[in-house]
Amino acid sequence: MDAWLASRPVHALVESFAGTSDDWSLLEALAAAKGTTSDRLAALDAFTDRWDTRQGLERNQAGELPLTAEQQELVFAAATALGLRGGARLRFRRYDHVLILGGLIRACLVRPAYAAHLIETGQIEAGSITALGGHRPFVGNEFQLAAEAGAPELDEEYEAMDFGTRRAFGLLEPERAEGEVSDLPGGTWGVRHYRTDQGVVVHVVAAPSSEPGVRRANTPDSYDFFARRLAELQPGQRLLMVTTPIYVPAQHTAAVRMLALPFGVEVDTVGNEPGAIPGAPVSNFSATKYLLEVRSAVRAMRQLIASL
């Protein structure tokens, strides 16, 4: 985290959007590594408030910032250098658990397909496969994308993850299903258990929220549910998280905090490589979207610092 804060791409982003004396003080603190890591992350987090076009909305509902052409070019270059546009590497050939992270409907279709691609092409071997979604209703253009994918009946993330996982791995009906239904937001959960033709166990999970009634389940909630309820993780096991490149830094940091630290496991996180899956829907992210996920990475690092 210290190296990340001291990196030229982070400095360039701050410099490009700096406008006050406090902003220039932040730049000086980052360059000279002044104060604690926690203090610098907190200051950078506050700085990124100006990039927050979500304001509590889903990612596909966030607005766009009025960026100059120079700023857009810089953001794309910084995002590439900071690992938000691909390039994450696989450290191991075999992983005890492969976790496919949920999201908007494109993610629910592309990420399972990419995980299956890694296995089918012999790049990795998987002891088990778990798709982590949530009971999040579709918003915006997700209904249209579901229809284009041949599944107009889909209207929420969990069902989309189940659909995408069954399609990617050629699964039929689940061997069994379990769960609970609750009137509280984030209180409903479910697990569908499958098995591939090769005998690999596949779970499709909608985890409950750790704050039912307050919010729906988030990525850390899903990690915790997987670790304690499904996997019974043991020190030294290897986990591979499969996501989209733009989310790798934030979601990997959350996996380090929620899985590697408490359970002593090895964690890798990769994003699907564009073009690896013929016909898969492609996400073309704007410069604003990359700024939002740099902000997410900063916030994830603050949570990791607090855990440390």
Distances (CA, A) of 2 to 10, 20, 21: 11, 24, 23
Structure token pair of residue 49: 């408030």
Nearest to 161 by CA among 197, 206, 127: 206
The pLDDT assigned to 111 comes to 95
In-domain check, residue 211? yes
The pLDDT assigned to 152 comes to 87
Q: pTM for this structure? A: 0.91
Domain count for the chain, please give it: 2
Whether 142 and 245 map to the same domain: the answer is yes
DSSP 84: S
In-domain check, residue 288? no
The pLDDT assigned to 168 comes to 96
Q: Average per-residue pLDDT in the chain?
A: 92
Whether 16 and 132 map to the same domain: the answer is no
The pLDDT assigned to 223 comes to 87
Whether 144 and 177 map to the same domain: the answer is yes
Give CA–CA dist 117/272, Å, rounded.
Answer: 10
pLDDT higher than threshold 90 for residue 123: yes
Report pLDDT digits (tens) over 5-63: 999 999 999 999 999 999 999 999 998 888 999 999 999 999 999 999 987 777 777 88
In-domain check, residue 114? yes
Name which residue leads in pLDDT, 219 or 190. 190
Instruction: State the sign of the Cα–Cα–Cα–Cα dihedral 286, 287, 291, 296.
Output: positive
Give CA–CA dist 34/161, Å, rounded.
Answer: 44
CA end-to-end span of the chain, whole Å? Answer: 12
The last residue of a domain, from among 49, 81, 113: 81
pLDDT higher than threshold 80 for residue 101: yes
The pLDDT assigned to 196 comes to 96
Give CA–CA dist 190/64, Å, rounded.
Answer: 35
Strand partners, 238: 266
Whether 247 and 154 map to the same domain: the answer is yes
Report pLDDT digits (tens) over 265-279: 999 999 988 777 776
Give CA–CA dist 222/209, Å, rounded.
Answer: 8
Whether 147 and 9 map to the same domain: the answer is no
Range of the domain at 42: 2-81
